[in-house]
Chain A
Amino acid sequence: MFEGYSLAELGSIFAMQGFAGLILFSVFVLMALGLAIIFGQMGVINMAHGEFMILGAYVTYLCSNFISSTAPALFPAYFFIAMALAFLASGALGMLVEWAMIRFLYRRPLDTLLATWGLSLILQQIFRSVFGAREVGVVLPDWLMGSVAVTDTIEVPINGLFVMGLTIAITIVIYAVMFRSRWGQGVRAVMQNRVMAGAVGINTEKVDRYTFGLGCGIAGVAGSAFTMVGSTGPTSGQLYIVDTFLVVVFGGAQSLIGTIASAFTISQAQSTMEFFLSGSTAKVLTLLTVVVILMLRPQGLFVLKVRR
């Protein structure tokens, strides 16, 4: 497929292809971070993760409509406001769900799977009733559209750059919160030994609620960012859920580093194979590879020693 192209042309294509892989990597990390916290740290299988993302996307949609009609001058910057609101909305809903449902099911992981699956169906139908069954179009400010020409032949999409930047920022924040703050210490203590953490005076219920809220909030931000690259409809969350679980499980459920490493591996494998093979074949091969590796290494790529 490369005959008839100059070296320079091939070089640019490969540079752009490398970048496509990096964008996919950022998207995967952003999808998976919230779930890594909820599933990895708390052991809750949250099948409604995609719907928390779409809630963020709908908040962005509302925000874009509201600001373009009331304060058009603010429109170029609305995306940041929308992301903050998406975080708050999804986080608040997450805490409500934790309080009303999840906390009764901590010892029954399979029941949480069913319960959150039901929750995802309920949320989808609510979206459908409120926003209509059709997809909504989220208008982006002009500066987020189009591409940057790095050289004459290499062009990089701006929204891809934006997602990458956002991913890096959120990863750093999560790292700081989980590993450098007192609250994060509490979260990790509860995860490692719930009874003991309670005995030394950590309010484990409160930690649970805020951790779940944080995970859902990040899902909301991810959903908000994905309005740039994907669709916003009642069932769009389902598009992400499989990949999200794949990344988290493959990385080793308890490890945030593992999540990032696995997102990198899967995204690079997939985007390279998509380029040389066809889209469907690439997906099949990626899944097959992951299955084989998980058969050899059931705990995932990275694993923390956890006292049970």
Chain B
Amino acid sequence: MSSDKIDADKLTGGLPSPLRRKLLLGMAALPAIGLLPRGALAQALPTDAVNTTKLAVTDSTVKVGILHSTTGTMAISETGSVQAEKLAIAQINEMGGVLGRKIEVIQEDGASDWPTFAEKARKLLVEDKVAAVFGCWTSASRKAVLPVFEQYNGMLYYPTFYEGLEQSKNVIYTGQEATQQILAGLDWVTKEKGAKTFFLIGSDYIWPRTSNKIARKHIEMHGQKVVGEEYFPLGHTQFNSVINKIKLTKPDVIYASVVGGSNVAFYKQLKAAGIDLNKQTLMTISVTEDEMLGIGGENIAGAYACMKYFQSLKNPNNEKFVAAFKKMWGGESVIGDVTQAGYLGPWLWKLTAEKAKSFDIDKIAAASAGIEFTGAPEGYVRVHENHHLWSKTRVGRARTDGQFDVVFETADLIEPNPFPKGYQ
């Protein structure tokens, strides 16, 4: 131990030397936390006590991972999540960090490639020993990293709305699972528009297929009818044939879960074919403010989107969040549902660690249920025992400027139900 290190510690009044740490270890039980000066929380909660499993936690810092695609085809969607997570972490650090420790971020690029996600997850957990990982976007990437998180006992905060049918001790799902997102929207469109017939159209992979399965069950249980159900390969760009089919079947509602670049083609061609979304009801579960940028507001204005969050939401939390986000990432940036869910991750982890008074994964996993976050931009959220969030569902109507008017929101929080009975 060099003497200038001790001097530096005295100057900043923070970083405890090993000697002081040893002393403090004995004092940890003293009920003096409230009396200690700023930065002393870390001393009151010594590293040996909050970290019994050799995570990358020091007296002054704690390392976490961000694992998203910043290159490749998914970079379009995942960039927003990375930005939101970094914003949350910066804000938490400004408030003094978690358990008195500043968060340090190790960012890895999943490169839109699922094996790469698994490899990087292993690196973050085994080599970097991060205390939590905020990341993944597609279900495929989550499925790829799940065995890694379970094997090495890591903690993943996953932001995307997804198809459900999953629950893990090692994952907190901060987006909605399918029934939360879908059922309230269908009920609303039935009540509001008197919808009797639905045309389901989606991209051909697990999320749209599972979502439409749930939607179809719900529609048929209520005596309504599905007049068409179509899937197109990811990246499909020609929708004229299916648009003719829609014209032929004249559904009351087009229910769309088309994703990625196909989305843009679908709405442009729908508009070009003379289908006016102000007259033809279209409800989508896959278009957020992010996708609107590429589609162009004029091509989708009038459509309804069913999500838990819209940027235009009016509440003090959200106004603060939007302002902070634009300050950090530029005034042009837009915030979609998943971006907001990404923002929740670091906050929920902080609250959980403070409740558990520990960074240990097992303690975090056990303490997660019941965690409440009142500062969420979407409004109050609470973690369910199944590690999903209680949240409201909202319906927004697309405007030409790329934003949504919120036209409906459920009165109560909706219980997450990743294994819905009767819908499988």
Contacts and interface: CB of A to CB of B under 8 A. Distances in A.
Number of chain A interface residues as a range: 35 or more
Contact of B231 (A1, A137, A278): A278
A236 B296 contact: no
A92 interface: no
B272 A160 contact: yes
A239 B294 CA distance: 15
Given A134-B79, A275-B245, A283 B233 contact: yes
Interface in A16-74: 16-17, 19-21, 23-24, 27
Contacts of B71: 125, 128
Contacts of B240: 19-20, 23-24, 157, 160, 271
Interface stretch (B211-219, B262-270, B313-321): B262-270
Residue of A17, A19, A136 with most partner-chain B CB within 10 A: A17
A1 B244 CA distance: 13
A155 interface: yes
Given A5-B248, A239-B235, A128 B265 contact: no
Interface string B236-276: 11101111110111000000000011111100110111100
B67 interface: no
A231 B263 contact: yes
Given A134-B293, A233-B294, A279 B231 contact: yes
B293 A274 contact: no
B79 A137 contact: no
B232 interface: yes
DSSP class of B's interface residues: helix, strand, loop or mixed?
helix
Interface string A248-265: 000000000000000000
A134 B291 CA distance: 8
B274 A149 contact: yes
Given A230-B261, A270-B238, 6 more contacts: A135-B294, A137-B297, A139-B296, A231-B264, A271-B241, A275-B241
29 contacts: A16-B247, A17-B244, A20-B244, A23-B238, A128-B75, A133-B70, A134-B290, A134-B294, A135-B264, A135-B291, A137-B293, A145-B272, A146-B272, A155-B273, A157-B272, A159-B268, A226-B237, A228-B268, A229-B238, A229-B272, A230-B237, A231-B264, A232-B264, A233-B294, A234-B75, A234-B76, A238-B73, A239-B237, A279-B230
Interface of B: 70-73, 75-76, 79, 204, 229-233, 235-238, 240-245, 247-249, 260-265, 268-269, 271-274, 290-291, 293-298
Interface of A: 1, 5, 9, 13, 16-17, 19-21, 23-24, 27, 125, 128, 132-139, 145-147, 149, 155, 157-160, 226, 228-236, 238-240, 270-272, 274-275, 278-280, 283
